[in-house]
Amino acid sequence: MRLIQEIAGLCCMAGLLAGCATTLPVQEVRQVSAAYDAASAAGAPLLDELAIAERRAELSTPPENVRTLTSGDVTAFLSFNPRAAASLASIGDPARTAAQRRGLRVVGAYVDVLEVLAEGRNIEEAKARLQTLASNVAALAALASGGAAVAVAPVLSALGPILDAAAQASNADELRRLVLEGAQPVDDLIGKLIDSSGGMYQVLIEEPRRAATNTFSQNKEAQRAEIVKIAGLQVAMANYVVLLEQLRITFAALVAMVRSPSRITLASLTASSNELILEAEAARRAYALIRRPAAIGVMEVKP
């Protein structure tokens, strides 16, 4: 009986692996989708913080030719430049934050296309998802050409022909093959998001850094509170990069499984996606603590 069970198990595994050779396994792609969603959600509060820091930086260092009126911590410009609207508005995102969010959306749209193909949905739906992916790529390209922090032009150039060819494909198998060719550009895009973390960090800590070194230089208690803020942002930034790195690993595991399905690649994908979900939850909890100074024994101090 045990021998029969073992043979049956091997047959099931063989069938699964054979199926992987022609179609993406639905459950595994859904795992990757869930992992991406978790990473994106965990990173969102940090990007919200980045948007606020960018806008404060714009107000604190206006262009030389712009006259301002200042009262306390409120600064108003006496002229308006529509090109600076993204940095001054209370909606949308300034350039650096927008580039990060758009980059993540490109990755998410790529996952959506894989999920449509894996589930064998209508080819027209897959093409519609590709159009969404193409529009996100176009928007990110526009930000990059405008001098945004994420230098993605080479990555987007590599993705362009893949999207064009995929949109013309006549069946899901061909579409799947062409989308998988985007694996390296997507990996490169995640790498660019990681590389831009140093610039993000400088924007995030600029205000507490100035407070610690200038405003509160003679007030040790207040100075310590600002340094604690910087230390918290350092942890949050490091967590964000760790999540992006794990997202890269998860994508690599998916690509490896699709290209060469085996028990090892299936197990690797499951492990990496589960780890990313757990790390995202831990990062979310850590950021919640960072944003509550009293929780770590430091009270907010004002000059």
Q: What is the pLDDT of residue 301?
A: 37
The one-character DSSP state at 161 is: H
Spatial separation of the C-alpha atoms in residues 132 and 113, rounded to whole Å: 9
Q: Which residues of 173-185 are buried (b: 16+ CB within 10 A; e: fewer)?
A: eebbebbbebbeb
Measured CA to CA, the distance from residue 57 to residue 297 in angstroms comes to: 28
Domain ranges of the chain: 22-296
- pLDDT mean by block of 10 residues, the chain; 303 residues: 37 41 70 93 93 84 71 73 75 86 88 81 74 74 58 65 68 69 86 91 92 89 90 92 94 84 81 90 84 46 37
The pTM assigned to this predicted structure is 0.77
